[in-house]
Amino acid sequence: MTLTPTRAQVEALAADQSDEPIVMLNLLRFKDEADGIDLGVSGREAYNRYAAATAPFLANVGGRVLSAIEAKQSVIGPAEPEWDVVALVEYPSRKAFLQMATDPDYLKIHAHREAGLADSRLVVCAPAGGLS
């Protein structure tokens, strides 16, 4: 289960001071039932609470959700689905992402994310020149 970055991962992200836009690939697997702050609802509902509360913070740093889609079936890979939702979130820069991710008020709502997710991945992405 991976829900938060390691210190080394945060330091590596912060070390790159480029002002290029980034897209964060979010791979999300929900708990059947949330725990913690959202005990009594589904993991998906807990995560939806987090997503709704995150929207103003995302807008404040100039970010936006590009796409959020449900994973349905593996064509290549394990037969059992690994992820429930795949989301692409664009930020103007790594600095903008870190500004949001370290905002004390944002961190208060992060408990909904942890209550709802069984596992996750967050991958920094950039345009792959020549592949289109």
**pLDDT tens sequence across 95-131:** 999 999 999 999 999 999 999 999 999 999 987 766 5
pLDDT attached to residue 96: 95
Q: What does pLDDT average to over the chain? A: 92
**pLDDT tens sequence across 4-20:** 878 888 788 788 888 89
- The answer regarding whether domain 19-125 maps to CATH 3.50.50.60 reads no
One-letter amino acid for residue 90 of the chain:
E
- Report the C-alpha gap between 24 and 80 in whole angstroms: 24
The residue with greater pLDDT, 23 or 131, is: 23
Strands (E) across the chain are located at 22-30, 64-70, 85-91, 117-125
Residue 25 CB contacts under 8 Å (≥ 6 apart), including other chains: 86, 87, 88, 121, 122, 123, 124, 125
Tallying the residues shown for the chain, one arrives at 132
